[in-house]
């Protein structure tokens, strides 16, 4: 009887500490994946300016936990013309919401737009 009582008490305490779905979303890391296809006339210097400006956002927007980038190395031709990817991690979804209108992000977009042919964005909460 004591064992059953202790198990019930333990289970109840677990539920009292469980996060609601909204709390979990507010406290979970949040990912922002951005893929670019550049215009054909974009030079190597212009690519590097865009990449450098994007990477610098981590030093300007405090909700960014990390940024990494790369270029397509697809073995299968399924990248639909996208050549560059940026993978941004935020502290939570609210971090992305603060990032989007941030002046540093707006400034980055003015650097990017003259060279951008196409963009693809995918945001998600990582699942275990």
CA atoms within 13 A on the CB side of 94: 7
**pLDDT for position 25:** 47
What's the burial of 8, exposed, middle or buried (CB within 10 Å: 0-12/13-18/19+)?
exposed
Q: Catalogue the long-range contacts made by 3-6 (C-beta closer than 8 Å, 24 or more residues apart).
A: none
Per-residue pLDDT of 54-98, as tens digits, reads 999 999 999 999 999 999 999 998 999 999 999 999 999 999 999
> What number is the average pLDDT over the span 40-49?
96
Domain boundaries, the chain: 29-123
Choose between 14 and 38: higher pLDDT: 38
Length of the chain: 128
The token pair that represents 87 in the structure block: 């993978």
The pTM (predicted TM-score) of the whole model is 0.76
Residue 2 has pLDDT above 80, yes or no: no
Helix (H, G, I), strand (E, B) or coil at 121: strand
Fold of 29-123: Alpha-Beta Plaits (3.30.70)
Helix (H, G, I), strand (E, B) or coil at 70: strand
> What number is the average pLDDT over the span 27-50?
95
């Amino acid at each position: 009887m004591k064992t059953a009582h202790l198990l019930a008490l333990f289970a109840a305490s677990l539920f009292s500490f469980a996060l609601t779905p909204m709390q979990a979303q507010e406290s979970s890391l949040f990912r922002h994946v951005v893929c670019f296809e550049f215009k054909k006339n974009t030079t190597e210097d212009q690519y590097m300016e865009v990449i450098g400006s994007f990477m610098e956002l981590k030093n300007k927007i405090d909700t960014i936990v990390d940024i990494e980038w790369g270029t397509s190395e697809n073995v299968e031709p399924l990248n639909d013309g996208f050549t560059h990817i940026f993978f941004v991690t935020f502290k939570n979804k609210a971090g992305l919401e603060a990032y989007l209108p941030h002046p540093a992000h707006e400034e980055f977009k003015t650097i990017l737009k003259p060279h951008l042919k196409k963009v693809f964005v995918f945001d998600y909460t990582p699942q275990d």
